[in-house]
Amino acid sequence: MLVSEILVNDSSGLIDVQATLDAFKPLLVAARAKQEEKNNVIGTAVNAIFDTWKGQRVPMTQLVSYVAASLNVAPGKAYTEVATAVKSFVAANPSIYSSGKGFRGVGRTADLPVKALPAPKGKRGKKADKASEQTAAPAAS
């Protein structure tokens, strides 16, 4: 739909801003509802995949394929749209899904195992340990 099809003019031929906004609002609300519905469908499919592969990371291309298959999407334009939607959904929800480059893939954060924190870097090592032992040892009397 073109903007010119929505514009409402007043009696003098100028654009009536409020009347145009009033005419546009139902279209905008409908478009938003359609986006939310699509997002909910994609989100439900993505979560179903991670329910099946609980605690696992899945490469993005594989995740897209699983979602497309679960939605019975044929290859072509519709598949490309689903791929874009899945990638956007994962990227828009970083607190729920963690993704990495390459084989690391995407995982649902709540299902992934927690890794131990690495040892702090600094002056720790054999020399530092020997120095601390020397200062901590009581003086022989």
pLDDT in tens, 90-129: 999 888 888 766 557 888 888 877 776 676 676 555 555 5
Asked, for residue 19, whether it belongs to a domain, the answer is: no
Predicted confidence (pLDDT) per residue in 34-59, tens digit: 888 888 899 999 999 999 988 888 89
The verdict on residue 63 lying in a domain is yes
Q: Is residue 43 part of a domain?
A: yes
Q: Is residue 99 part of a domain?
A: yes
Total structural domains within the chain: 1
Computed on alpha carbons and rounded to an integer, the radius of gyration of the chain in Å comes to 28
Rounded Cα gap, residues 61 and 75, in angstroms: 14
Per-residue confidence at 84, pLDDT binned at 50, 70, 90? very high
Tell me which residue range forms the domain holding 93: 39-110
Q: Is residue 83 a part of any domain in this protein?
A: yes
